[in-house]
Structure 1
Amino acid sequence: MLALPGCLRAAAFWTLVYSYCLLYACTALIKLFCSILIRPRRTFRRTPREVTPTCLNDPFLGTHCYVRIKDSGLRFHYVAAGERGKPLMLLLHGFPEFWYSWRHQLREFKREYRVVALDLRGYGETDAPSNKDNYKLDYIIVDVKEILDSLGYTKCVLIGHDWGGMIAWLIAICYPEMVTKLIVLSFPHPTVFTEYILRHPSQMIKSGYYFFFQMPWFPELMYSVNDYKILKDLFTSKSTGIRKHNFRFTNEDMEAYLYVFSQPGALSGPLNHYRNIFSCLPLKHHQVTMPTLLLWGELDAFVEVEMAELTRVYVKNYFQLSVLSQGSHWLQQDQADLVNTLIWTFLHEDRFRIKD
C-alpha cells in the first residue's frame, strides 16, 4: 500500500479529529439530556467540598512544598519525601489525577531517593493559567526542566503515568541529559500512539475523550454533572476502575480526588493540556537513549497493549516491558506492590548499556 503524502495524511488526521469530536459531543449531549429527563434535580446537584480530606495532609506521604519558576512565573506545588541530597525521583501524574496518585511510591522509594510528586501546570494547588494556549506541551516540558533546576538537581529518575507518561517521553527525547532512567506507565512512545491510532479504529474509540476535550466548556460540564459521576466511575467502575481489591479506592481516597477537581475552575487546566496535544505531534525527533522501563496493564481500558511492544523500536538502549496480569490503567495505584517491585528491580539492574 502506497503511503499518503504528508499533506493528505495531515488532512485525513484533522478530518478524523474533528469528526470524532462531533460524534463524541453528540453522544455526550444525548447522555446529558437523558440524565436531565430521568433525574433533573440530581443532574446538576453538587456536594460542597470545602474541607481538605485528612489523607492529603498525611505526614507519612511527605512534605507539601512550593516553587516558583522563572520562565513562566507560575507557582508549582509538589509533595516531597526522602532526605535532601539523595538522588531525585520525579513523578508525573496523569489525568484525572494529581500528586496523590503516587502515594504508594512516595512511601516506598523515600528510603533511597528524594521523591517528588508534582502537581502539573493547571492541577491541584499548582497555578492554572486561564488561556488554553498556556498548556502547550513545549511549555510543560520547560516547566519540568526548570523545576529540576529549582530543586538543585541536574538529573533524575523520571517516572510518568498516562498523560504524565507522554510528558516523560518528550522530556527524555528533548533533554536526555536530565534523565538517568526513564519509567513510563500506561502510555506508549508518542510516535507509536499517533501512528497506531490512525490505523486502528478500536484505539480511536478508546481515545475518544482526547477529541471530545477539544471542545470549550462542554467537557467541564459533563465531568461535573451528577456530582462528578464520570470521575468516580473512572476509578471505581468494573470496566475502567481499579481492579485489585487491596488497592481499591477508600471513601477518603475518592473524596480526595473529588475535593481537588470540584474546586472552582479545577477541571479547565487539566483539560487544556489535551486541547494542545496536537500542537507538537508528530514529533521531529524520536529516539530515547536512556534505559527505559515500560509498565502496562493487561486490562487497560484506554490504551491497547499492542502499542507497548511497538515502543521498543524507539528506545536505543536497554528496554524492559512488563505487562501486568489483571492490571488496569491506574497501575501505580491498582498494582502498587508489584509496580514498586518492578521499579526497584529496574533501578538496580546492571545491564544498562547502549545497543550496538
Structure 2
Amino acid sequence: MARPGAACPPPARRVMVAARALLFWALVYSYCGVCACIAGLRLLWSIGRRPGETFRWVVRENPPACLNDPSLGTHCYVRIKDSGLRFHYVAAGERGKPLMLLLHGFPEFWYSWRHQLREFKSEYRVVALDLRGYGETDAPPHKENYKLDCLIADIKDILESLGYNKCVLIGHDWGGMIAWLVAICYPEMVTKLIVVNFPHPSVFTEYILRHPSQLIKSGCRLTAEDIEAYLYVFSQPGALTGPINHYRTIFSCLPLQHHEVIMPTLLLWGERDAFMEVEMAEITRIYVKNHFRLTILSEASHWLQQDQPDIVNKLIWTFLKEETKRKRE
C-alpha cells in the first residue's frame, strides 16, 4: 500500500467484504432498533409531561473556560490547498521542535488530548487536530468526502502545511485507524507510531465483522467541566453529521493490499474497553516489522488517555526515550 489510491482491493474481495459488512450492519441496526424502542417510550413519556421542552435543541452559546485554557496551547487554523478545507488545531510547545501529531477518536475533538498537550510540549511541538468534520474544522456535506483515502490525505497535507516532513504520530479510536493507515501509506512521514485502543486495520476488518458483541462502548471518567466541553461542541448545529459520516465510509478501501508497518510502534490498550476486545491487540503484533510494544492496562477503559493520563504519558515517554537510546546504540 504505497499510496492511498492503491489501497482498494480487487472487485471479488470487495464484494465479499461488502457482503460481510451488510451482515454486520444488519446486526448493528437490530441492536439500534431495540435501543430506539426504549428511547421511543422515553420520548412519549417526555412529550406527555413536558411537550414544550421535548423538541427544543439547546445550543450552548458560550464555550466553557477549559476550552480556552492557555496552558493547553494556542488555537490555530490551516487551509489545505488541494481540498480547500480549513482545519482547526491546538498547538503547544515551541515551533521547530519535533512534531507530535495527535488524532482523536469518535465522538471526540482536540480536547481529548488535553493531558498530552501539557505533558509533551517541553520537548515537542504538540498539535492536537480536529479531524475533518469535527469541532471547528470544516465539514463537507457528502459522505464521499469522508472516505479513508481523503482522511489519510488530510494528515499528509496538514503535516506539510505545518512545515514538517515527519512526526511522531499518535491516534486514539478512529484516529488510531487513520494513524495506522498513514503509517502504512507514508512510512517516511512517521518516525514513531503510537496507537491507543485501536488494532491494525486488517485485524479490525476481520475481527469486528465476526464479533457483534463489540457494539457497546465503555464509559469514561470526565469532570463536570470536561462534559460541558463536549456538550458545547456537539450541541452546535450539524456537529454530529461529520463524525457520523466517518463511520458511514468505514469499509472504504478495506481490506488492505499492503499491511506492514515498518516504524517502531507502541500500542496501548484499556482492558475494560467493551467496544474493542483485547484479542485484537495481541493479533496486531504480526503486522509490525519493527520494534513493537504492547501494554494492556487492566483498570482502564476505551478512553485511555483521558482515563489514566499519568500512566499513559509515562508509557509514551518510556517508549520515546528507549527508541532514542536504541538508535544511538
- TM-score with structure 1 length normalisation? 0.83
Q: 2:185 is aligned with what amino acid?
A: C
Query: Which residue of 291, 298, 309 corresponds with 2:282?
Result: 309
Q: CA shift at 1:97, angstroms?
A: 0.5
Instruction: Write the distance in 1 (CA, Å) between the matches of 2:278 and 2:182.
Output: 23
Partner SS, residue 219 of structure 2: coil
Query: Which residue of 136, 155, 164 corresponds with 1:144?
Result: 155
Query: Which residue of 243, 257, 268 corresponds with 1:295?
Result: 268
Query: Which residue of 306, 313, 317 corresponds with 1:344?
Result: 317
Instruction: Write the distance in 1 (CA, Å) between the matches of 2:72 and 2:305.
Output: 15
CA contact (8 A) 2:173 2:196 kept: yes
Match of 2:34 in 1: 27
Partner SS, residue 313 of structure 1: helix
Instruction: Write the distance in 2 (CA, Å) between the matches of 1:192 and 1:133.
Output: 24
Query: Which residue of 303, 307, 323 corresponds with 1:330?
Result: 303
Q: CA shift at 1:285, angstroms?
A: 0.9
Q: 1:28 is aligned with what amino acid?
A: C
Structure 1's 313 and 352: CA in aligned 2 closer, same or farther, altered over 3 A? farther
- Computed over aligned residues only, the root mean square deviation of the Cα atoms, in angstroms, reads 1.8
CA contact (8 A) 1:35 1:43 kept: no
CA contact (8 A) 1:317 1:352 kept: no
CA contact (8 A) 2:199 2:284 kept: yes
Structure 1's 188 and 7: CA in aligned 2 closer, same or farther, altered over 3 A? closer
Query: Which residue of 210, 216, 219 corresponds with 1:241?
Result: 219
Displaced runs of 4 or more, over 6 A: none
Structure 1's 65 and 143: CA in aligned 2 closer, same or farther, altered over 3 A? same
Q: CA shift at 1:35, angstroms?
A: 1.1
Query: Which residue of 99, 108, 111 corresponds with 1:100?
Result: 111
Match of 1:72 in 2: 83
Matched residues, number: 311
Query: Which residue of 224, 230, 245 corresponds with 1:251?
Result: 224
Q: CA shift at 1:190, angstroms?
A: 0.6
CA contact (8 A) 1:291 1:352 kept: no
Q: CA shift at 1:352, angstroms?
A: 5.1
CA contact (8 A) 1:94 1:162 kept: yes
Q: CA shift at 1:110, angstroms?
A: 0.2
Q: Does 1:183 align with 2:194?
A: yes
Give matches, 1:1-356, under 5 Å: 6=13, 9-10=16-17, 12-40=19-47, 41=50, 43-199=54-210, 201=211, 204-207=212-215, 240-242=218-220, 248-350=221-323
Q: 1:20 is aligned with what amino acid?
A: L
Residue ranges of structure 1 left out of the alignment (5+ in a row): 209-233, 235-239, 243-247
Output one character per residue of 1:237-274: Cα deviation in whole Å (capped at 9) or x when no partner: xxx222xxxxx322111110000011000000011011
Residue ranges of structure 2 left out of the alignment (5+ in a row): 1-11
Partner SS, residue 39 of structure 1: helix
Q: CA shift at 1:17, angstroms?
A: 3.0
Partner SS, residue 60 of structure 1: helix
- TM-score with structure 2 length normalisation? 0.90
Instruction: Write the distance in 2 (CA, Å) between the matches of 1:158 and 1:15.
Output: 32
Q: CA shift at 1:37, angstroms?
A: 2.6
